[in-house]
Amino acid sequence: MSLKDRLIAEIGEDGPMPVDRYMALCLHDPRGGYYATRPALGESGDFITAPKVSQMFGELIGLWAAEVWRRLGSPKPFRLVEMGPGDGTLIADALRAGRAASGFVEAADLWLVETSAPLRARQAKALGDTPANWARELDEVPAGAPLVLIANEFLDCLPVLQFERTARGWAERRVGLNADGELTFGLAPEQAGAAPGLPEAPAGAVFEVSPELLSLGWRIGARVAEDGGAALFIDYGRARVECGDTLQALRGHAKEGPLQSPGEADLTAHVDFPGFLATAHEAGAKTALTTQGGLLIKLGVGARAAALSRANPANAERIDRQLQRLVAADQMGDLFKAAVVHSDGLEIPGFEGADG
Ligand code: SAH
């Protein structure tokens, strides 16, 4: 039975399904979930991410990680963690650049947090003979050593709940069935009332909350507060508390309705950075938020692009296009945010002057 048919059967039996369960099944169902069965990243796949735009992205993240490690006092060992490493391009580029910092790669106990079996295989291939460990979630990565963590376009995969403002209050949006037995959005009959955290909004507004994102914020915050370290998250998301229905499916680089083809498209929601960072802060960590463009510029992407162009003059135009794509305000530069969660007393490269 296809994932869609199984969803329809489950809803028929149990009633309309919270959006976070729908999203989790579409992404991770072992027999039909997108990442579990058919993840297609890159030019010829469904979507493209910054590490696939240019090697400069992963290289600068690698230099960032090495500099954080140095500022931590060059601990050996330390846990170098990537969450949601995709096809392994980012970690491979980061380690290559990180070799410039003497002792960094040798001190790293490398962990990749990944649920997808096909992507784990691609990550192993990209790493070659670099030793690595895999975990299904962060809690499986042993505590007790400083943490340097990176994650690009990972938080947007964490399932969200949706609430819709009605004339009488907030109601939870669920995935149900229409008269023809097809998947459709509806509202839970009971009101969510003045659920904590829901802002004032006009009727029709949609507000998203991700319990998994908030739980991860708490766990990362507690972890760096206890063990020391920093965790960098780059993703498409909001910098302020605001409403918006951002659930989005992408297939073959084109958007489609989130209910159209469950499991056959990537399904994401904009990241609630204010909520994520607030929970990390409550757990005892320091936090800061900037834009992808702002971070990369401070980390020296301009000089890196110039050096690559000098070494390879025939590619200069392409390198400049890639640079613009990563940092320009009307491309990825402003839409994508960079957030850091870190231990007290650590200055984070690239976040100088950024807001907590
Ligand atoms: N960081 C990569 C890939 C982004 S795609 C890049 O920038 O190109 C999202 C990645 O997160 C995939 O590797 C996917 O399998 C993984 N992922 C999604 N949800 C996850 C979860 N709950 N736990 C662990 N990994 C997850």
What DSSP letter does each residue of 237-305 carry, written as one string?
Answer: EESS-------EEEETTEEE-TTTSTTTSEEE--EEHHHHHHHHHHTT-EEEEEEHHHHHHHTTHHHHH
Check residue 231 and give its pLDDT: 98
CA 2 to ligand 1 center in whole angstroms:
23
Q: What is the pTM of this model?
A: 0.97
Is the beta carbon of 51 within 6 A of some atom in ligand 1? yes
Question: Can you tell me which atom of ligand 1 is nearest the CA of 50?
Answer: 7
> In sequence order, what are the residues at sequence separation of 6 or more whose Cβ sits closer than 8 angstroms to the Cβ of residue 102?
none
Q: Which ligand 1 atom is nearest residue 52's CA?
A: 8
Between the CA of residue 165 and those of 191, 204, 214, 273, what are the distances in Å?
10, 5, 22, 21
Predicted confidence band of residue 308 (pLDDT cuts 50, 70, 90): very high
Nearest alpha-carbon partner for 29 in 264, 318, 189? 264
HSE at residue 11, side-chain half, CA atoms within 13 A, is: 24
**Residue 167 pLDDT:** 84
pLDDT at position 195 is 57
Under the banding of pLDDT at 50, 70 and 90, the label for residue 123 is very high
What's the mean per-residue pLDDT of the chain? 95
25 pLDDT band (50/70/90 cuts)?
A: very high
CA of 83 to the centre of ligand 1 (A): 7
Quote the tokens at residue 116.
């997808």
Q: In this structure, what DSSP letter does residue 41 have? A: B
User: Which ligand 1 atom is nearest residue 151's CA?
Assistant: 1
Q: How far is the CA of 148 from the centre of ligand 1 (A)?
A: 18
Question: What pLDDT digit, counting tens, does each position of 230-249 carry?
Answer: 999 999 999 999 999 999 99
**What average pLDDT does this structure show over 212-221?**
98
pLDDT at 190: 73
Q: How far apart are CA 116 and CA 212, in angstroms?
A: 18
Q: Which atom of ligand 1 is nearest to the CA of 116?
A: 15
- Burial bucket for residue 240 (CB in 10 Å: 0-12, 13-18, 19+): exposed
User: Confidence band (pLDDT; 50, 70, 90) for 290?
Assistant: very high
- pLDDT of 194 > 60? The answer is no
Lowest mean pLDDT among 168-172, 192-196, 261-265: 192-196
Distance 77 CA to ligand 1 centre (A): 25
Whats the size of the chain, residue-wise? 356
Hey, what amino acid is at 275? G
Residue 78 has pLDDT above 70, yes or no: yes
Q: Compute the average pLDDT of residues 51-72.
A: 97
Look at residue 196 and tell me whether its pLDDT is greater than 60. no
Q: Are 36 and 117 in contact (CB under 8 A)?
A: yes
User: Among 37, 9, 21, which residue's Cα sits nearest to residue 183?
Assistant: 9
pLDDT in the model for residue 133:
98
Q: How far is the CA of 155 from the centre of ligand 1 (A)?
A: 8
